Amino acid sequence: MQEPTRMQDMEAPLAELTDRFEWRDDNRLDVFITSDRLLPAVEVLFAHHWVYLTAITGFDSPAAEGSEAEGMIELLYHFCSGASILTLRLSLPYSNLVVPSVCHLIPPATLYERELIEMLGVEIPGTTSTDRLLLPDDWPVGVYPMRKTFKGL
Amino acid sequence: MNETLNLSTPWQKGLHKVRLWSLTNSPWAIHFNSGSCNGCDIELLATLTPRYDLERFGVKLQGSPRHADILICTGPVTRQARDRLLRTYEQMPGPKFVVALGSCGTSGGVFQGCYNIVGEIGNVIPVDAYIPGCPPRPEAMIDGIVKLLGSLK
């Protein structure tokens, strides 16, 4: 396998897909994108041999109480190369929780995507299977345990 | 268990003596993990090794619940494992005893209140002996099981 491009040199190819980079550390780069740019961004990473998707993180960040802003669910796609982690970050508003699947590029990603579907209620069209993976068989449909609003059944 | 037995005649009393003798001298155990972190399971297996030699009390790990007298249950009960635990318990022939192993089995432990947890083992099936610890030492398990057997005499 060819070595991935150095992370310091990844800003240029990703520049037109993002409006913001954030260096968290010498070897941590966060790239803020929107959901329609996820697949192009993954393709750019693939072209530079960043092919190792280590995890997809999802978390719920509801709007602050009394605020007009809409609650968001944030997704973080972590790509690794040695000790470097490049993270694609995107936030989805509650009104449009849809993100395209990356399964045609990274088939095992379906496990993470199914977890997002079950735990946070994100819709991911194109993932290979949407059968129940982690939650118990008798879990009610439409209840997402990793949402902040979840307070037990 | 005496409540259901008629001990009015001498032969019934004698039979009961034989039954109790065989029960307390060869209690066969089945091990069920209802959602444990595996700490108690490993410690239970260590207890069955020749170093601690639980077999000197006649205790033997049995593969099938239909051949077992003691259900040694580890971990909190998850929603998914609840039905399996009940089915295992109901397949055991009476008289049968349940030992709840570890902090999680006795109280839910650190998993208490988690979205997929029903609670302690006592919430699902009647428990005869609790062995606390995280995980309990093999000596504690032997002590608990011997005390359970002693209480039958």
pLDDT tens-place values along chain A, 153 residues long: 688 888 888 888 888 888 889 999 999 999 999 999 999 999 999 999 999 999 999 999 988 887 888 889 999 999 998 889 999 999 999 999 999 999 999 999 999 999 999 999 999 998 888 888 889 888 998 899 999 988 887
Closest Cα in chain B, distance from residue A141 (Å): 14
State whether residue A140 sits within 8 Å of chain B by CB: no
Retrieve residue B140's tokens.
């504690």
> A-chain residues within 8 Å CB-CB of B115?
145, 150, 152-153
Q: Which of A136, A152, A153 sits opposite B80 (nearest CB)?
A: A136
Place of tokens 């030699």: B53
Those residues of chain B whose CB sits closer than 8 Å to some CB in chain A are 78-80, 113, 115-116
DSSP string, chain A: -PPPPPGGGSHHHHGGG-SEEEEEETTEEEEE--GGGHHHHHHHHHHTT---EEEEEEEEEPPPTT--SPPEEEEEEEEEETTEEEEEEEEEEGGG-B----TTT-GGGHHHHHHHHHHH--B-TT-S--S--SS-TTPPTT--TTSTT----
Q: What is the dihedral of CA A120, A124, A127, A130, to 10 degrees?
A: 50
Q: Which of B115, B116, B117 to mutate to test the interface with A (most CBs of A within 10 A)?
A: B115
Q: Does the beta-carbon distance from B113 to A150 stay under 8 Å?
A: no
